[in-house]
Amino acid sequence: MAKVMGKVREKMMEKMMWQDQMRGVYHIAIKDMKTYYLKPPAISWGMVFPLAWTLAFYLRNPGDFAELVPGLLAMTIIFSTTAAEAVVINFELRLGTLERLLLTPLSMTSVLLGKVLGGFLFGLMMTAIVAAGAILYLGLQPDIPGLALISLISLMVFSSMGALFSLSVREVFEAQTLLNLPRFLMVFLCGVVYPVSALPEGLQLFSRLLPLTYTVQGLKASFFQEQGAVLAWDLIILFLFLILFLLPAIRLLQRRFS
């Protein structure tokens, strides 16, 4: 009897600890939103920058603006999630505030997930505003569940990518510079403004190695009601990218404190 009670107590403790970890992830994300994301630099990178780019393309060819919407959303997703990720990790490592988080009962994975969730939530806000504006203004009728799924997984993928790149270097400015490379590369090669099919064959193959290709593809599928199989395939590949970014990021954080 005592053994059974002991096991029940152990299970309850485990459940409580798991809940505490999840609560911690949430509180870190909310704190980051307040201290870093809802500030002019993050908003300008996350929203104004993609809008300015889209406006430039719209002015060149106003007739096909609806076709630009998936690209605009993809740009909003990548820039908003990565806008402050470099700051929230490297800046806090330098100030010692990240170390303070690691002194709490939260695991390193939870602390990193909190940081990633902050980028995700900010990206979600920005993407929702841009998506709602575009849908209402242009009278589009996307597949809402598909749009939501592809957007949510993409937000997690690019927020994790931001965390990984940030942890690869020591300084905030290094992380910002390093992140610009994949961001701009993907904007040009992943079908945001030019269709992937219009690229030379070698670049088409290369674009298949980049996660934003699947975000744009999935967004196009949900906006233009393409076959569900395409969307499912994009979701699976993006999930693999999420693991590919998240696990090394956790490992890098552990190495910093080993």
User: Contact residues for other proteins (CB under 8 A)?
Assistant: 17, 20, 23-24, 27-28, 31, 34-35, 95-97, 99-107, 257-258
Of 115, 119, 109, nearest to 90 by C-alpha is: 115
In the complex, the smallest distance separating the C-beta of residue 165 from other proteins, rounded to whole angstroms, is: 23
If the CB atoms of residues 173 and 257 are measured against other proteins, the closer one turns out to be 257
SS (H, E, C) 240-256: HHHHHHHHHHHHHHHHH
If the CB atoms of residues 64 and 99 are measured against other proteins, the closer one turns out to be 99
If the CB atoms of residues 95 and 144 are measured against other proteins, the closer one turns out to be 95
Is residue 232 classed exposed, middle or buried when 0-12, 13-18 and 19+ CB atoms within 10 A define those classes?
middle
Per-position DSSP letters for 67-129, written without gaps between them: HHHHHHHHHHHHHHHHTTHHIIIIIHHHHTHHHHHHTSS--HHHHHHHHHHHHHHHHHHHHHH
In the complex, the smallest distance separating the C-beta of residue 27 from other proteins, rounded to whole angstroms, is: 5
In the complex, the smallest distance separating the C-beta of residue 28 from other proteins, rounded to whole angstroms, is: 8
If the CB atoms of residues 105 and 202 are measured against other proteins, the closer one turns out to be 105
Of 215, 119, 216, 237, nearest to 175 by C-alpha is: 119
In the complex, the smallest distance separating the C-beta of residue 98 from other proteins, rounded to whole angstroms, is: 9
If the CB atoms of residues 107 and 168 are measured against other proteins, the closer one turns out to be 107
In the complex, the smallest distance separating the C-beta of residue 79 from other proteins, rounded to whole angstroms, is: 22
